[in-house]
Amino acid sequence: MSQSIPFTDLNFKLAVVQELMYNQELLPKFDLGQYAAGKGFTYDGGSVEAVPEALAYFAELEVPVELAEKITEIEMDGGNEIYLEIAPNWDGEDSLFDVDEFADVAHFPHLKSMTLLYTGKDEVLETLRARGIEADWV
């Protein structure tokens, strides 16, 4: 059985899963509508809030450690599919998906570039750049 990457920051994990699930298609795609129907819950599709069941799905999702080498860039954008599957009407205007902790970068030796949702914390860019990662805000 494969080991999973032990993420410390859920929002960093979501950015990685966006790349693996929706961009590279290496993980089965999550579809909120199908998931809700299968699990028997409803959600407000007009809400900018995260659907708790969707967030829980991604928190529990195991990302095999062998996929870490596939991550060379991470591009966080308010229009990323993963964010719209978690919070269908999210407008990117709040800090819902901001990454607070970057220790998870250590799991991705080939990560060379990150575009981040704007937090206004310039020390974040400095920390990533010090690790040899090109980093900037969206």
Spell out the domain ranges in the chain. 10-137
Query: DSSP letters along 82-94, please?
Result: HHHHHSTT--S-S
pLDDT in tens, 76-112: 999 999 999 999 999 888 999 999 899 999 999 999 9
Q: Which residues of the chain have pLDDT under 70?
A: 1
Buried (b) or exposed (e) across 37-48, using 16+ Cβ within 10 A?
eeeeeebeeeee
- What's the pLDDT score for residue 1? 62
- 70 close to 84: Cβ distance less than 8 angstroms: no
CA 11, 12, 15, 16 dihedral sign is negative
Looking from the CA of 123 toward its CB, the CA atoms found within 13 Å total: 3
What's the whole-model pTM score?
0.96
Residue 119 to residue 60: CA distance in whole angstroms = 26
Q: Which residue has the tokens 């999210």?
A: 90
DSSP 30: P
